[in-house]
Amino acid sequence: MCPCKTLSVFRREFKSYFDSPVAYVFLVAFLVLVGFLTFGFSSYYERGQAVLTPFFIWHPWVYLLLVPAATMGLWAEERRNGTIELLLTMPITLTEALLGKFLAAWTFIGVGLALTFPILITTSYLGNPDWGAVICGYVGSFFLAGAATAIGVFASSLSRSQVIGFVVALAILFTLLIIGFDPVLGAIAGWGVPTYVTDALSSCSLLKHYMSLGRGVLDFADVGYYVGMIVFMLAAAQYVTDCRKAS
Amino acid sequence: MLKVDNLKKRFGDFEAVKGISFAVEKGEVLGFLGPNGAGKSTTMRMITGFIPPTSGTASICGHDIIKDPIAAKACLGYLPENAPSYRAMTVTEFLTFVARIRGFHGKAARAKVDAALEKARLTNVARQTIDTLSKGYRQRTCFAQAILHDPQVLIMDEPTDGLDPNQKFVVREMIKEMAAEKAIIISTHILEEVDAVCTRALIIAQGEIKADGTPDELRAKDPSGKLDVVFHNLTMGKEGN
């Protein structure tokens, strides 16, 4: 595998976000939503504590809406425009192309996350936050974004329609988020589902692993979960793209 | 330079390509003729490694497209049907992207891009966004990416389809200019293309080769001496008469 080829695809994809207003709309929507939810809904100031919990807690739900928007075109547009035929008849493997696209989308969302730094500055101005927890929160959020992006890449590979790419990614993400939600797990258990099944469902949840990272515990099991999810979704995207590229 | 060996492609119960074999040498421009749905594009997509054949294989400059696809694709220039390109990019950005994928970086990439712009007569629109170009220029932009790395084998799927007579003339001139140095395949259903650029033609219908020869040899297959009559007889059979 050649990193230069992956890098070429990465550069093209990353730049393509900024070639249209998409990038700016996305970044503004991300920052406005995160800011509004943090300050408006989570009583950030009223807590009297210099913590970023009310900020990080909203990230999964903001990603739920915005990551599918950033990933829906990655393969769907290639297929709709026929450029997939151009790309995959050049001396580049599907894995190299797929990785380039995934990394571009992940980095783009990472830029959005990095632009939340004023909230960090505000918190450190108001008090003395636990920097370990802050770093852990950002790492967790970035990995969550990576897993969501990989799910979006997979959804985009399913058809030549961006709308389908968006809706499928949203549905998968929503399912993987709510199965870690206690009321949902309680409802499932209420149907007579055995505990080991609800435990298994809970351990598959994006939310559960995010919450433990958000508490400031950098557990390799959580990081491993996200890496596993990314690898699994990209492998699925590769399989689907390979089978359906000509359709 | 290009060898196609008993290529077959089946989609479910439908056999789109039923065992096609041929070879193209340097200096040859092979016209790949056939009505719509004859299996031309499917065959080209298998030769270029875009879709896998059900059986059979193709080799480009000695590299098997199934066993060694990256080396085979490196020797190949391909202009797909409808000349796709990344329309939000400028012509130069697009060609630079292709150059990088093909392993050229820095000054080498710039030199390749400049040479391709010149050969495809695109220098005056180099900084324009592809989306703003006319169909003829977009076709030539995709043509430029196909010849950027000076490939030994060039495959073009309907390169003049939908172009006005002047644009067709320009594309044909470009093909003639590089014909001596390369093995070229042009798929088309426009018969005038054969006389304009091809040294040899294959007529394909229902996924099979119906005739293979120089334009004069093909004309000799009917007393009228007209290529369109020969084409009609071979591709439609008796029911078409």
CA distance B178 to chain A (A): 20
B184 DSSP β-pair partners: B29, B154
Give 10-residue mean pLDDT values along chain B (241 residues): 93 92 94 89 94 95 94 95 93 97 95 94 95 92 94 93 84 88 90 88 92 90 86 70 38
Instruction: Single out the residue of A5, A160, A14 nearest to residue B89, CA to CA.
Output: A14
The widest CA-to-CA distance across chain B, in whole angstroms, is 59
Cβ neighbours of residue B217 closer than 8 Å, sequence gap 6 or more: none
Query: Is B188 in contact with B18 (CB distance < 8 Å)?
Result: no
Q: What is the pLDDT of residue B239?
A: 41
ipTM score over 0.85, yes or no: yes
**Which of A12, A19, A93 is the closest to B70 by Cβ?**
A93
Nearest to B205 by CA among B36, B34, B43: B34
Q: Which residue has the tokens 């999810």?
A: A229
Domain B2-75+152-240: which CATH number of 1.20.58.2240, 3.40.50.300, 3.40.50.2020, 3.50.50.60: 3.40.50.300
Residue A123 is which amino acid?
A: T
Please tell me the predicted confidence (pLDDT) of residue B192: 84
Q: Which two tokens stand for residue B239?
A: 């029911």
Those residues of chain B whose CB sits closer than 8 Å to some CB in chain A are 45, 48-51, 70-71, 73-74, 76, 78, 80-82, 84-89, 97-98, 100-103, 105, 142, 145
Q: Is A81 on the interface with B (CB under 8 A)?
A: yes
A244 lies within 8 A of chain B by CB: no
- pLDDT at residue number B31: 93
Contact B84 A5 (CB under 8 A): no
Contacts of A93 in chain B (CB under 8 A): 70
pLDDT at A50: 66
Q: Is B150 exposed, middle or buried (0-12, 13-18, 19+ CB in 10 A)?
A: middle
A20, A85, A91 ranked by CB distance to B80: nearest: A85
Segments of chain A with pLDDT less than 70: 1, 44-48, 50
Which one of A9, A20, A89 has the shortest CB-CB distance to B50? A89
Distance of CA B129 to the CA centre of its chain: 25
E strand map for chain B:
2-11, 14-24, 29-33, 55-60, 63-64, 76-79, 153-157, 183-188, 200-205, 208-213
pLDDT at position B198 is: 92
Interface mutation target, options A11, A19, A86, A160, chain B, most CBs of B under 10 Å: A86
A91-130, pLDDT tens digit by residue? 999 999 999 999 999 999 999 999 999 988 888 888 888 8
Spell out the residues 6+ positions from residue B47 whose beta carbon is closer than 8 angstroms to its own: B2, B4, B7, B58, B60, B65, B155, B185
Residue of B202, B180, B187 whose CA lies nearest to B78: B187
Q: Which residues does chain B have within 8 Å of residue A90's beta carbon, measured at their own beta carbons?
A: 73, 98, 101-102
How far apart CA B202 and CA A82 sit, in angstroms, is 26
Report the gap between the CA of A154 and the closest CA in chain B (Å).
Answer: 20
Residue A204 CB: number of other CB atoms within 10 A? 15
Q: Which of A5, A9, A89 sits opposite B78 (nearest CB)?
A: A89
A81 and B145 within 8 Å at the Cβ level: the answer is no
What is the Cα–Cα distance from A156 to A74, expressed in whole angstroms?
A: 6
Residues facing residue B15 across a β-bridge: B10
3-state SS, A171-182, equals HHHHHHHHCCCH
Contact B87, B130 (CB under 8 A): yes
Mutation target for B interface from A13, A79, A88, A90: give the one with most B CBs within 10 A. A90
Q: How far is CA A236 from CA A3, A147, A156, A170, A246, in A?
A: 21, 13, 11, 17, 17
CA dihedral A162, A95, A105, B133 (to 10 degrees): -60
Distance CA A11, CA A90 (A): 17
Contact A175, A94 (CB under 8 A): no
Contact A86/B at CB under 8 A: yes
Q: Confirm if B202 and B29 have CB atoms less than 8 A apart.
A: no
Alpha carbons A26 and A97: distance in angstroms, whole number: 24
Q: State how far the Cα of B227 lies from the Cα of B241, in Å rounded to an integer.
A: 15
Are B121 and A121 in contact by the 8 Å Cβ rule? The answer is no
- Spatial separation of the C-alpha atoms in residues B241 and B225, rounded to whole Å: 17
| 3-class DSSP assignment, residue B72 | helix
Contacts of B103 in chain A (CB under 8 A): 4, 91
Chain A nearest-CA residue for B90: A19
- Torsion sign, CA atoms A45, A47, A51, A56: negative
User: B113: closest CA among B135, B129, B97, B131?
Assistant: B97
- Helical axes A3-18 vs A94-114, angle rounded to 10°: 50
Q: Name every chain A residue with its beta carbon within 8 A of the beta carbon of B78.
A: 86, 89
CATH 3.40.50.300 residue ranges of chain B are: 2-75+152-240
pLDDT for the residue A211: 82
What is the model's pLDDT at position A124? Answer: 86
